Amino acid sequence: MQKKFSIYSGIALIVIGILGLLPNPFFGKDKLVEVDLTHNIFHAIIGGIIILMALGGEAQALRALKIFGWFFVLLAVTGFLMPDKGYLFGFLSSNIPGHWLHMILGVILLALAVINKKEEPEDINISPVAKN
């Protein structure tokens, strides 16, 4: 189930990255959510990484949801605390609505990591002895 969630999440991030490149009233320079070319490229790359990890099986998909869920939550917190409100880390264009979207995205990814989670994903076998 996490594999499917990861693939959809990765596709959504790629679409968000592309949407930020196209003229629209919501995403872009001096728009509701401030993003620039670098920011959009990061979204697309992260989406691609999530999809690639998901293709590795349920365990990798779960790992992708957790890693990038926490990444976006920490990115949002960092954005709220950074003194330069126009840029994250001095080079990624961002603003308060963007920080909130990062927080929401992170929480959603973490929630997807626990929905229908099995005790042990089916593609993990750490024991050299076969189970009966």
Instruction: Say which amino acid occupies 117.
Output: K
Question: In angstroms, rounded to a whole number, what is the distance separating the alpha carbons of residues 17 and 47?
Answer: 9
In order along its 132 residues, the chain shows pLDDT tens digits of 889 999 999 999 999 999 889 888 888 788 888 888 988 999 999 999 999 999 999 999 999 999 999 999 999 998 888 866 677 777 778 888 888 999 999 999 999 998 866 544 555 555 555 555
Q: Considering only CA atoms, which of 1, 19, 10, 93 is closest in space to residue 48?
A: 10
H or E stretch including 92?
strand 92-93
Neighbouring C-beta atoms of residue 126, cutoff 10 Å? 5
| Residue 34 exposed, middle or buried by CB count within 10 Å (0-12, 13-18, 19+) | buried
Q: What single DSSP character describes residue 25?
A: S
Question: In angstroms, rounded to a whole number, what is the distance separating the alpha carbons of residues 129 and 132?
Answer: 9
What is the pTM for the complete model shown?
0.80
Question: In angstroms, rounded to a whole number, what is the distance separating the alpha carbons of residues 25 and 67?
Answer: 31
Question: In angstroms, rounded to a whole number, what is the distance separating the alpha carbons of residues 110 and 121?
Answer: 16
Query: Could you give the residue ranges of the DSSP H alpha helices within 31-95?
Result: 37-54, 58-81
Question: In angstroms, rounded to a whole number, what is the distance separating the alpha carbons of residues 84 and 88?
Answer: 7
